[in-house]
Amino acid sequence: MTDRRPMIAGNWKMNLGGDEAAVLVKDISEGIKGVQGVEVLVAPPFTLLQTVREAIGSSPVFLAGQNMHWEPRGAFTGEISGRMLQESGCTHVILGHSERRSLFGETSEDIDKKAKTAVLLGLIPVICIGETLEERETGRTFKVIKDQLDRSLANFIKDGLLLPSTILAYEPVWAIGTGKTATPEQAQDVHSFIRKWVADNFNTGTAQHVRILYGGSVKPSNVSELMSQTDIDGALVGGASLTADNFIPIVCYK
Ligand code: PGA
């Protein structure tokens, strides 16, 4: 076993108003008081970051952006820079979520550039990868995962350095928002493949430190089994992160 600290992350996507968000994060902060050894992260929509940061106060909840641009500034209407995220209190940024890839045309090359910029700024990237149902059913899961890793982390490979703080998130597209979860064994198989990929492309020390989260219909009833797998170091939670009643028991999965 290693000393990887489990992380439970809530991706709020395009949900919640300011008042709801403040109440939710205050309830989460209250509900996780005294919980040891688990990092908690929330990723609100951009416009709620300041509100949520204030509501977090001194509670140990980390804040993430759901996306960012790779350039530091410029004529990029509708985009947000990494520095802007930091100024709003973010320590982390989710990159390459499958909704960004499939609905907004983000490529692994875009994600590669974003990840490099994030790390240069000192933001911890949560880099998402995952196969579609068709890819799984045609036996291409590992090929697709390898390809996404090769291309989304190409700059890090080129530099020969992956910071051990980097977080990877395996999110099978067919399990996101569908109620279908990968079985703990299916998830573990891919997580161990990803860890081996990190060892092969960087080194075993880095592979032992990098956390790999699972995402896709994680809920209070399935989190413990998923977290009991050797290479699953946390969860990236969508739907069930929107209420304290669901999210707190996920954080308190032990
Ligand atoms: P879900 O979403 O938990 O609603 O399946 C997960 C995600 O998109 O990160």
Confidence bin at 179 (pLDDT 50/70/90): confident
Read off the tokens for 144: 């697709």
> Alpha-carbon distance 150 to 127, whole Å?
12
Q: Given this model, what pLDDT does residue 2 score?
A: 65
Mean local confidence (pLDDT), 74-95: 98
Which atom of ligand 1 lies at the shortest distance from residue 240's CA? 3
pLDDT confidence of 200, banded at 50, 70, 90?
Answer: very high
SS (H, E, C) 36-64: CCCEEEEECCHHHHHHHHHHHCCCCEEEE
Phi then psi dihedrals of residue 210, to 5 deg: -65, 135
- Whether the CB of 11 sits within 6 Å of ligand 1: yes
| Domains observed in the chain | 7-251 (3.20.20.70)
Q: Measuring CA to CA, which residue among 50, 42, 51 is closest to residue 20? A: 51
Interior CA angle at 173 toward 206 and 215, to 5°?
50
Q: What length does the chain have?
A: 254
Q: Which residues pair with 160 in a beta bridge?
A: none
Active site residue 134: no
Cα 12 to averaged position of ligand 1 atoms, centre (Å):
9
Percent of the chain at pLDDT > 70 equals 99
Tell me the C-alpha distance between 10 and 48, whole Å.
14
203-208 long-range CB contacts below 8 Å, 24 or more apart? 205/164, 206/162, 206/164, 208/2, 208/4
Backbone angles phi, psi at 132, to 5 degrees: -85, 170
Mean local confidence (pLDDT), 203-212 = 98
Residue with tokens 């998402």: 128
pLDDT digits (tens, 9 = 90+) for 150-173: 999 999 999 999 999 999 999 999
Q: What is the pLDDT of residue 118?
A: 98
Residue 6's pLDDT band, with cuts at 50, 70 and 90, is very high
**Per-residue confidence (pLDDT) for residue 1, from 0 to 100:** 45
Contact 83/121 with Cβ under 8 angstroms?
yes
Q: pLDDT, tens digit, for every residue of 109-134?
A: 999 999 999 999 999 999 999 999 99
Catalytic position from the list 92, 97, 99, 106: 97
What is the C-alpha to C-alpha distance for residues 110 and 116, in angstroms, rounded to an integer?
10
171 is a catalytic site residue? yes
Instruction: Answer whether 236 contacts ligand 1 (Cβ < 6 A).
Output: yes
- Ligand 1: which residue has its CA nearest to atom 3? 238
pTM: 0.97
User: Does any ligand 1 atom lie closer than 6 A to the CB of residue 215?
Assistant: yes
Mean pLDDT score, 29-40: 96
Q: Mean pLDDT for the chain? A: 97
Tell whether ligand 1 has an atom less than 6 A from the beta carbon of residue 218: yes
Mean pLDDT value of segment 15-34 = 97
How would you class 234 by CB atoms within 10 Å of its CB: exposed for 0-12, middle for 13-18, buried for 19 or more? buried
Please report which confidence band the pLDDT of residue 216 belongs to, taking 50, 70 and 90 as the band edges: very high
| pLDDT of amino acid 140 | 97
Cβ atoms of 246 and 224 within 8 Å: the answer is no
